Amino acid sequence: MKYTAGFSLIELLVVIAIAAILAGLAVPSFQSMIASSNLTSTTNDLITTLARAKSDAIRRGQRVTVCMSADGAACTTTGDWTQGWIMFNDDDHSDAAATVESTNDITAVSTALANNIVVKAKSSQPYFSYSADGQAKLMNGGSGAGTLRVCSPSSALTNDTRARDIKINWVGRVTLEKPTGVAASCPAPV
């Protein structure tokens, strides 16, 4: 009797059906993982920019500012941080708002965010500025403390996992918190 090795058509169809079921179960997990990864990446980019701004301000002995920017060349006071941000050496900080002068060097640019990530500031704060001693200051010299919320409206994330709050205190220290109960509309922090 001759023996032939191989798979029958029915065996092949059963294996394909099982693989399709397993793939269908895995896809939601991948969507959650991708949304969480995008959220973490944007949060880390913003924290790195703020930490670098503080470090540069101390090292240079001059003010360094991080502000919202739609074009990567100038600060804006409308919209939110989702449009992007820039970091620049703010040598004179003579204006009432954060303004890039022709003598200021832009040292970092982050363009508009992809992947539906939203970044909003408490009280619509358009900039964070570090003085030569590393403190977060407003242009008028007042405390520049504030909060930025990085949020993903993705349905793959829950209201307890969709947001990160980046808090900057008056001494310029950056901390990260995970707020709970954040709706998919991604409201600004309160």
More confident residue, 72 or 29: 72
Residue spans of the domains in the chain: they are: 10-177
* Whole-structure pTM value: 0.84
Q: Which two tokens stand for residue 28?
A: 């939601």
| pLDDT averaged over every residue in the chain | 91
Q: Reduced to 3 states, what is the DSSP secondary structure of residue 111?
A: coil
- Cβ atoms within 10 A of the Cβ of 176, count? 13
The pLDDT value recorded for residue 30 is 84
Given this model, what pLDDT does residue 29 score? 75
What does the pLDDT look like over 28-62, one tens digit per residue? 778 889 999 999 999 999 999 999 999 999 999 99
Q: How confident is the model at residue 22 (pLDDT cuts 50, 70, 90)?
A: confident
Close Cβ partners of 171 (under 8 Å, ≥ 6 residues apart): 134, 135, 136
Whole-number pLDDT of residue 91:
80
Taking alpha carbons only, the member of 153, 127, 138, 146 closest to residue 42 is: 153
Q: Helices then strands (H, E): number in the chain?
A: 1, 9
SS3 184: coil
Spelled out in words, what is the top-level CATH class assigned to the domain 10-177? alpha beta
